[in-house]
């Protein structure tokens, strides 16, 4: 049985990954912040350390076969905090990582690419990292590449993850839809790169077991490329309401988010507006060809699941799928 070191093990993707690792009889050592109140599943070894404070001590790697780095910050956070917890935490993880670790999987993001409107982006496109979050993840990748000669690193650039555990990020949209107050941002024809949590975990497991070249990056996104209009219509159908018909210019929407003139306090940030209104499509062909990755969760099924949890009044843990 392999010993897998997991950072961010109590996070949303991390929790699902730990369950999957235990199900296949891997041993897990979780890196958690000192004093963390989050409980780990029985049998998971805990190692307390704050990766943003310095290099992870060598004892944390004792006997480790594989490393999965999921810890970090997302969303509308101050840039210096994003850099500290995303970029420098990655550098601190790898500083003492031994070369006998057979594989190091780093969770990155499609946000590193920046904007390529109307194009389908594959790994040959130059990353631009235009948002603060994208810049911090691109810097994390840059730090990691300095270790490519000694470590077998795989970069997984995830799309917009949804599903059990991620409901709160989608609740504002569902709430506005249910009340008939949702507005389409722009013309609604922009494509959204969604990825179900189960498919994210599946991609990590494939990358862990792969024999691909070191320091290779992979786009990990769902097979479907829904437009904003299509996604809102699907969600409205599950809610039993009419899809939105009124449109709001994107620039006005961003201003509205700042002044709260259209949206209630805390519901939509300027970054939320940006994420929902960008036209973004990505190819996962390299991941299919080299990792054997194909998204299994149909968008209609995944969205039905999220809406059911929303209507039920709360989140639940991700269930494994056949």
Of 255 and 149, the one with more pLDDT? 149
Q: Collapse the DSSP code of 302 into the 3-class scheme (helix H, G, I; strand E, B; otherwise coil) and give the result.
A: helix
Tell me, yes or no, whether 313 lies in a domain.
no
Tell me the DSSP string of 200-260.
HHHHHHHHHH--PPTTEEEEE--S---BHHHHHHHHHHHHTSPPP--EE-HHHHHHHHHHT
Quote the tokens at residue 110.
């499609």
Domain count, the chain: 1
At 9, the pLDDT band (50, 70, 90 cuts) reads very high
Tell me, yes or no, whether 51 lies in a domain.
yes
CATH code where residue 101 lies: 3.40.50.720
pLDDT on residue 255: 77
* pLDDT higher than threshold 50 for residue 134: yes
Tell me, yes or no, whether 97 lies in a domain.
yes
Tell me, yes or no, whether 120 lies in a domain.
yes
Tell me, yes or no, whether 267 lies in a domain.
no
Find, among 232, 268, 214, 252, the residue nearest to 94 by Cα.
Answer: 214
Tell me, yes or no, whether 178 lies in a domain.
no
Of 311 and 274, the one with more pLDDT? 311
At 315, the pLDDT band (50, 70, 90 cuts) reads very low
Find, among 129, 54, 60, the residue nearest to 91 by Cα.
Answer: 54
Quote the tokens at residue 43.
């049998």
Tell me, yes or no, whether 117 lies in a domain.
yes
Q: Collapse the DSSP code of 6 into the 3-class scheme (helix H, G, I; strand E, B; otherwise coil) and give the result.
A: strand
- Which residues pair with residue 252 across a beta bridge? none
pLDDT on residue 267: 67
Tell me, yes or no, whether 189 lies in a domain.
no
The range of the structural domain enclosing residue 101 comes to 3-166+194-222+281-296
Q: Above pLDDT 70, what percent of the chain? A: 93
Distance, CA of 207 to CA of 199 (rounded, Å) = 12
* pLDDT higher than threshold 90 for residue 316: no
- Which residues pair with residue 220 across a beta bridge? 158
Tell me the DSSP string of 13-61.
HHHHHHHHHHHTT-EEEEEE-TT--PPPPTT-EEEE--TTSSPPPGGGG
pLDDT on residue 317: 38
* pLDDT higher than threshold 90 for residue 313: no
- Residue 289: in which H helix or E strand, if any? helix 285-291
Contact by Cβ (8 Å): 103, 208: yes
**Mean pLDDT estimate for the chain:** 92
**Rounded to whole angstroms, what are the CA distances from 88 to 50, 149, 150, 292?**
11, 19, 19, 31
Q: Above pLDDT 90, what percent of the chain? A: 81
pLDDT on residue 43: 94
Find, among 52, 49, 72, the residue nearest to 61 by Cα.
Answer: 49
- Which residues pair with residue 4 across a beta bridge? 28, 66
Half-sphere exposure of 137 (CA within 13 A, CB side): 29
Q: Which range, of 18-22, 99-103, 280-284, averages the lowest pLDDT?
A: 99-103
């Amino acid at each position: 049985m392999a010993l897998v070191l997991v950072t961010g093990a109590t996070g949303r993707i991390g929790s699902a990954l730990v369950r999957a690792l235990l199900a296949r009889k891997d041993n897990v050592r979780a890196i958690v912040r000192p004093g963390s109140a989050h409980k780990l599943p029985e049998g998971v070894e805990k190692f307390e350390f704050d990766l943003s404070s310095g290099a992870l001590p060598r004892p944390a790697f004792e006997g480790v076969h594989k490393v999965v780095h999921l810890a970090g910050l997302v969303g509308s956070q101050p840039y210096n905090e994003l850099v500290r917890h995303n970029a420098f935490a990655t550098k601190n993880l790898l500083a003492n990582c031994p070369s006998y670790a057979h594989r190091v999987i780093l969770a990155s993001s499609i946000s590193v690419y920046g904007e390529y409107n109307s194009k389908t982006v594959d790994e040959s496109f130059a990353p631009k990292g235009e948002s603060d979050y994208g810049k911090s993840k691109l810097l994390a990748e840059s730090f990691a590449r300095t270790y490519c000669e000694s470590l077998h690193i795989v970069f997984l650039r995830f799309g917009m993850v949804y599903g059990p555990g991620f409901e709160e990020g989608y609740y504002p949209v569902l709430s506005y839809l249910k009340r008939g107050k949702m507005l389409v941002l722009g013309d609604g024809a922009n494509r959204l790169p969604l990825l179900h949590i189960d498919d994210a975990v599946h991609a990590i497991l494939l990358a862990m077991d792969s024999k691909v070249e070191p320091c290779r990056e992979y786009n990990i996104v769902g097979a479907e490329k829904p437009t904003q209009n299509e996604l809102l219509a699907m969600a409205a159908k599950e809610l039993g309401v009419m899809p939105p018909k009124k449109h709001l210019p994107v620039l006005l929407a961003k201003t509205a988010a700042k002044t709260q003139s259209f949206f209630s306090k805390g519901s939509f940030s300027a970054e939320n507006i940006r994420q929902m209104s960008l036209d973004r499509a990505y190819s996962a062909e390299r991941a299919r060809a080299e990792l054997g990755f194909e998204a299994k969760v149909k968008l209609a099924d995944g969205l039905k699941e999220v809406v059911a949890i929303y209507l039920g009044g709360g989140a639940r843990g991700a269930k494994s799928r056949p």
